[in-house]
Amino acid sequence: MRALLVGLACLVAGGSWAEEAVYRMRGPTVPVARQVNGYRLDVRNLGGDEVEVHVTTSLGPVGSSGSYADLEGTPRPQVPVGFELPSRLTASLRPELETWQAATTVLEWVTDHIALIEDDDGPQDAESVIVRRGGRCSGLANATAALLMAAGFEARTVSGLLIGDHGVLRHRWVECRLPGAGWVPTDPTLGWWIITPRHVAFEDTVERLPEVIVDERDTGDLHQLPRIGAVLVRPNAGAELICRLSDADDRRTVVARLQRGSDRRRGVLGPEVRFGRLLPGRWVLTVELDGHVVEKQVLTLRSGAVHSYVVHLPSAASVEVGS
C-alpha cells in the first residue's frame, strides 16, 4: 500500500482541472456510478461481466462556504455510542473557523495521531484505531469519518479499489459534506481533500479483485498542490488573476498564457481577461503581441486573493496585487 501511495504522489492529477482514466473490468461485482465535488465515475456495460469505467477527478478549489459556528444549529450526525472528540481537537475547533478550515483541522489531527499500518491485524473500528493510534486504510477512513461526524459534519466512508502501475488493492476513503461544496472526497492515506483517477468506488467492500485493464490514464504532477506542513492539500479558495492593457483603446492582438504544470490557460486581452479558480502558488505568465512574446513573468498567487497584471505595450509590464 505505502509503495503504491508514493507512486501516486508522483504520478497523479497535475492540473487544477480534470485528470482522467479509463479502465475495463471483469469480475463478480462492478463499480457504481458516482459524482461528488472533484470526483466522477461513470460505468458502461460492455456485455457479459465486463464494464468500462471512466474516472474523472479535479484538484480545483473545493469552494466551501460558511463558518463552523453555523453547524451548531444543524442536526448532529449519528456517531458511535460513547464516541467523543479528543479534548485537544475540540479546543482547536473554534466557532470562527471557516467550515473547510474546521474539517481540515480534523484531518490534520488524524495525520498527527494515527499512523497507516499496512499489516495491522487489530480491529479497524474508529475507537480501536484511535486508541491504538494506527490502522489499515479502512481503519484510518473509519476513524476520520467518525471524528468528522463527532465534530458536526456529515461524513461517510467509500469502499473501492486503488489501481497502481503494478497492481490493484482494496481501499477505503472518506467523503465529507461541506456547506456550499456538497460531498467532498478525501483520502487520509494520501492527502487532504485529494482524490485521484486511480480511486474506483464500489457499492461495498470488494471481496474478490476484478481483472483490470488500463485503457487510458492522463496523469500529471500532484506535487504542484499547496502543502500544510508536509501534507498535500486541495485548497478551499482559488486565486484570481486579471490581465489588462494599460491602454484600453489599443486594438492590437494581445494574448495572455498562464501555466502551472499541466494546467494551461489562455485568454485574449480585449482590453482585459480574467483567470479564476487558480491553485495558489507560482504560475508562469507569458504575454504575446501579434504572436511574439513581449513579457514573461513568474507570479506567486495567494489563495482567495485577486491579482492584477497590467500590460504596457509594446514591451513593459508591471504587477499590481490587491485583495
Measured CA to CA, the distance from residue 122 to residue 134 in angstroms comes to 9
pLDDT one digit per residue (tens) for the chain, 323 residues: 544 443 443 333 333 456 899 999 999 888 999 999 999 999 999 988 899 999 999 888 999 999 999 887 677 677 777 788 999 999 999 999 999 999 999 999 999 999 999 898 999 999 999 999 999 999 999 999 999 999 999 999 999 999 988 889 999 999 999 999 999 999 988 889 999 999 999 999 999 999 999 998 876 567 778 888 889 999 999 899 999 998 888 888 899 999 987 788 999 998 899 998 888 889 999 999 988 899 999 999 998 899 999 988 864 444 444 43
231-232 vs 239-245, strand pairing mode: unpaired
Question: Which pLDDT belongs to residue 130?
Answer: 93
Question: Which pLDDT belongs to residue 43?
Answer: 96
Question: Which pLDDT belongs to residue 221?
Answer: 63
Question: Which pLDDT belongs to residue 263?
Answer: 81
The answer to whether the beta carbons of residues 62 and 233 sit under 8 Å apart is: no
Question: pTM of the entire structure?
Answer: 0.83
Q: Give one DSSP letter per residue of 19-83, joined into a string.
A: EEEEEEEESSS----EEETTEEEEEEEEETTEEEEEEEEE-S-----SBGGGGGGSPPPP--TT-
Q: Is the dihedral of CA 204, 207, 213, 214 positive or negative?
A: positive
Residue tagged 458536526 (cell numbers): 152
In a 13 Å sphere around the CA of 190, the CA atoms on its Cβ side amount to 28
ω into residue 314 within 30 of 0, thus cis? yes
Measured CA to CA, the distance from residue 266 to residue 211 in angstroms comes to 41
Question: Which pLDDT belongs to residue 131?
Answer: 92
Domains and CATH numbers, the chain: 2-228 (3.10.620), 239-322 (2.60.40.1120)
Question: Which pLDDT belongs to residue 1?
Answer: 52
- Within 10 Å of residue 146's Cβ, how many Cβ atoms? 23
Measured CA to CA, the distance from residue 264 to residue 262 in angstroms comes to 6
